Amino acid sequence: MNKTVDDMIEKLQKENEELKKENELLKTVIDRIHEAVYIVDQKDEIILYNTESEKMEGLDRKDLLGKKEEDVFAQPYYFSEEVTKKILKTGKSLINQPYWYNLNDGRKTNMIFSAYPFYYKGQITAVYVIFRNMNQLSDFIAITLEMQKKFFKMELSQDGAVYLLDDIISINSKMKKIKAEARKIARRNSPVIIVGETGTGKELFAQGIHNASLYSRGPFVPINCAAIPDTLLESLLFGTVKGAFTGAADMPGLFEQAEEGTIFLDEINSMSLSLQAKLLRVLQEKSVRRLGSKDRIPLHCRVISAANMDPIEAVKEQIMRSDLYFRLATITLNIPPLRERKEDIEVLARHFIKKYNHQFGLFVKDISEEVISFFEQYDWPGNVRELENFIEGAMNFIHSKEKMLQLDHVPEYFEERLFLLKLKKDPQNNTDYQYHKKAIHNGTLQDALLETEKTIIESTLMRNKGNISRSAKVLGISRQNLHYKLKALGITNKEL
* Domain closes at, from 289, 313, 336: 336
SS3 content of the chain, % helix, strand, coil (to 5): 55, 15, 30
Residues 304, 216 within the same domain? yes
Gap between the Cα atoms of 207 and 186, Å rounded: 10
Looking at mean pLDDT, say which of 16-30, 105-119, 350-364 comes out highest.
350-364
For residues 214 and 343, the model is more confident at: 343
- Report the SS3 class of residue 469: helix
% of the chain beyond a pLDDT of 90: 37
Contact 85, 44 (CB under 8 A): yes
Residues 40, 177 within the same domain? no
Residue 55 CB partners (closer than 8 Å, separation 6+): 36
Neighbours of 159 (CB within 10 A): 20
Would you say residue 145 lies in a domain? no
Would you say residue 377 lies in a domain? yes
Gap between the Cα atoms of 450 and 59, Å rounded: 78
**Dihedrals phi, psi of 274, to nearest 5 degrees:** -65, -40
pLDDT at 349 over 70: yes
Q: What per-residue confidence (pLDDT) applies to 438?
A: 47
Radius of gyration of the chain (CA): 34
Average pLDDT over residues 457-465: 79
- Report the SS3 class of residue 232: helix
Q: What per-residue confidence (pLDDT) applies to 344?
A: 96
Instruction: Return the CATH number at 237.
Output: 3.40.50.300
> For 72-81, how does the pLDDT look when each residue is reduced to its tens digit (9 = 90+)?
887 777 788 8
302-307 and 192-195 strand pairing: parallel
Residues 197, 308 within the same domain? yes
Would you say residue 388 lies in a domain? yes
* Domain closes at, from 100, 133, 166: 133
Residue 467 CB partners (closer than 8 Å, separation 6+): 461
Average pLDDT over residues 440-463: 69
Q: What per-residue confidence (pLDDT) applies to 147?
A: 62
Residues 289, 326 within the same domain? yes
Q: What per-residue confidence (pLDDT) applies to 156?
A: 46
Would you say residue 141 lies in a domain? no
For residues 447 and 49, the model is more confident at: 49
Residues 328, 415 within the same domain? no
**Dihedrals phi, psi of 478, to nearest 5 degrees:** -75, 160
Gap between the Cα atoms of 306 and 297, Å rounded: 25
Burial 64-78 (b: 16+ CB within 10 A, else e): beeeebeebbeeeee
Q: What per-residue confidence (pLDDT) applies to 263?
A: 95
Gap between the Cα atoms of 476 and 409, Å rounded: 13
Residues 71, 49 within the same domain? yes
> For 164-190, how does the pLDDT look when each residue is reduced to its tens digit (9 = 90+)?
999 999 999 999 999 999 999 998 889
Select from 108, 107, 113, 109 the least CA-distant residue to 132: 113
Residues 311, 346 within the same domain? no
Instruction: Return the CATH number at 77.
Output: 3.30.450.20
Residues 100, 246 within the same domain? no
% of the chain beyond a pLDDT of 70: 84
Domains identified in the chain, total number: 3
Q: How sure is the predictor about 28, in pLDDT bands with cuts at 50, 70 and 90?
A: confident
Would you say residue 359 lies in a domain? yes
> For 376-435, how does the pLDDT look when each residue is reduced to its tens digit (9 = 90+)?
888 898 999 999 998 998 898 888 888 999 877 876 666 666 666 655 555 444 444 444
Residues linked to residue 194 through DSSP beta bridges, in sequence order = 306, 333
Would you say residue 260 lies in a domain? yes
Gap between the Cα atoms of 131 and 134, Å rounded: 9
Would you say residue 79 lies in a domain? yes
- One DSSP character per residue, 31-52 reads HHSSSEEEEEETTSBEEEE-HH
Average pLDDT value over all residues in the chain: 83
Residues 122, 192 within the same domain? no
Residues linked to residue 46 through DSSP beta bridges, in sequence order = 40
Average pLDDT over residues 435-457: 61
pTM: 0.65
**Dihedrals phi, psi of 249, to nearest 5 degrees:** -130, 170
- Report the SS3 class of residue 3: helix
Q: Which sign, positive or negative, has the C-alpha torsion 349, 350, 356, 357?
A: positive
For residues 451 and 31, the model is more confident at: 31
For residues 345 and 420, the model is more confident at: 345
Q: What per-residue confidence (pLDDT) applies to 2?
A: 62
Would you say residue 142 lies in a domain? no
- The residue segments making up the domain with residue 348 are 340-495
* Domain closes at, from 319, 336, 353: 336
- One DSSP character per residue, 264-291 reads EEETGGGS-HHHHHHHHHHHHHTEE--B
Residues 297, 160 within the same domain? yes
Residues 100, 164 within the same domain? no
Residues 117, 208 within the same domain? no
- Class of residue 485 by CB neighbours under 10 A (exposed 0-12, middle 13-18, buried 19+): middle
Gap between the Cα atoms of 208 and 178, Å rounded: 12
